[in-house]
């Protein structure tokens, strides 16, 4: 796997195109680790995720593995926050009862 960054077009803010290329596949490898957010047999999820990614992509440098796992973990955190905001039981109950909230 090519690890060197290619020159970025002017104005391009994204970095690590080699990691962006494997991100979707890497997520498939470790998504299951982040679903329930519990450590597995007293082993932190992040450690397991690093191991799985490193084993799937042995040519990646340790720094690249950390960047990739951190990006995937950040995506999972954002998804959880979005789901938490979407769940508003009081508003849902009021709308079910046909009561308008006074905003």
Distance CA 67, CA 73 (A): 10
Instruction: Examine the pLDDT at 64 and tell me if it is beyond 70.
Output: yes
Question: In percent, how much of the chain has pLDDT > 90?
Answer: 40
The reported pLDDT for the residue numbered 45 is: 85
Does this model's pTM top 0.75? My answer is no
Break the chain into its structural domains and give their ranges: 17-97
Q: Which residue has the higher pLDDT, 54 or 35?
A: 54
């Amino acid at each position: 796997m090519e690890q060197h960054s290619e020159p970025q077009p002017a104005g391009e803010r994204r970095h690590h195109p080699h990691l962006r290329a494997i991100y979707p596949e890497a997520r498939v490898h470790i998504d299951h680790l982040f679903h329930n957010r519990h450590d597995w047999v007293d082993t932190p999820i992040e450690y397991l995720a690093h191991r799985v990614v490193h084993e799937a992509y042995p040519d990646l440098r340790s720094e690249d593995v950390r960047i990739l796992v951190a990006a995937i973990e950040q995506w999972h955190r954002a998804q959880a926050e979005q789901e938490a905001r979407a769940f508003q039981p009081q508003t849902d109950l009021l709308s079910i009862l046909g009561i308008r909230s006074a905003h």
